[in-house]
């Protein structure tokens, strides 16, 4: 990333599954280590939309909207709780290419739709990236119950209150960026998933356990430029 970015993350579903830390560790670049909660590592699938994505300081009306679907896990490096992305599917060829080049993130071009109707989000994604494994995801989800702050819930705090993400560039060099936003406001989520081939697309077996699901209306975010891990 050449310059810091500003954006909004909106209408997010966090589907979170426990996985074996040893299995996950084999899929992570050194020196990242799986972060563990209740004896398990965790993998999350996160559909949402970016709004007003733009270089920091540019007025919000000049930003772009970018629906997105992430597959991510949770790691530590120097005792800093962080995120590691297995994939980020997004609509918009130019945006995907820019993110790959400047953010060094594994973005894939996909056809994505996100609609808010009658208090529910209807999300559909089909990966169209040349040479990539096909992946589809379709879900309808909504918030339930009363809102709460992520730091008030140990599981939600573990999964969501993270302000650094790691990736690798094409040479295998570890890179990171920091994000800044207010603590998450969440709801429990009711989610109906019609199609999900992301597990097989990444060579994972789908966990037997039911996911822990949260819904977030969204936060405004500033993301730093990508930095090389020199050690």
Report the distance separating Cα 45 and Cα 139, nearest Å.
11
> Which of 196, 186, 190, 214 is closest to 141 using CA atoms?
190
Task: Answer yes or no: is pLDDT of 172 > 60.
Answer: yes
- DSSP secondary structure of 187-209: EEEEEEEEEE-HHHHTTPPPPSS
93-112 pLDDT, tens digit per residue, is 766 766 666 666 888 999 99
**Selected residue with higher pLDDT from 169 and 20:** 20
Is domain 5-228 annotated with CATH 2.40.400.10? yes
**Can you give the pTM of this predicted structure?**
0.94
Domain boundaries, the chain: 5-228
Report the distance separating Cα 4 and Cα 16, nearest Å.
28
> Which of 151, 89, 157 is closest to 126 using CA atoms?
89
116-168 pLDDT, tens digit per residue, is 999 999 999 999 998 889 999 999 999 999 999 999 999 999 999 999 999 88
Cis peptide before 115 (omega within 30 of 0): no
């Amino acid at each position: 990333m050449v310059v810091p970015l500003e954006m909004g993350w909106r209408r997010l579903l966090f589907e979170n599954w426990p996985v074996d830390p040893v299995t996950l560790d084999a899929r992570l670049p050194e020196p990242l280590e799986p972060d563990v909660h209740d004896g398990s590592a965790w993998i999350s699938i996160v559909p949402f939309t970016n709004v007003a994505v733009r270089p920091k300081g540019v007025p919000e009306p000049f930003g772009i909207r970018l629906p997105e679907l992430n597959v991510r896990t949770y790691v530590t490096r120097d005792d800093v709780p962080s995120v590691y992305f297995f994939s980020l599917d997004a609509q918009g060829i130019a945006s995907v290419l820019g993110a790959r080049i400047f953010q060094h993130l594994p973005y894939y071009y996909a056809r994505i739709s996100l609609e808010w109707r009658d208090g529910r989000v209807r999300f559909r994604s089909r990966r169209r990236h040349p040479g990539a494994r096909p992946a589809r995801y379709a879900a309808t989800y909504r918030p339930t119950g009363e809102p709460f702050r992520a730091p008030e819930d140990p599981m939600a705090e573990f999964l969501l209150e993270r302000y650094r993400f790691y990736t690798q560039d094409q040479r295998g060099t570890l890179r990171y960026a920091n994000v800044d936003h207010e603590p998450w406001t969440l709801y429990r989520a009711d989610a109906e998933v019609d199609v999900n081939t992301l597990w097989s697309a990444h060579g994972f077996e789908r966990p037997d356990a039911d996911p822990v699901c949260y819904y977030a209306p969204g936060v405004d975010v500033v993301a730093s430029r990508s930095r090389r891990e020199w050690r």
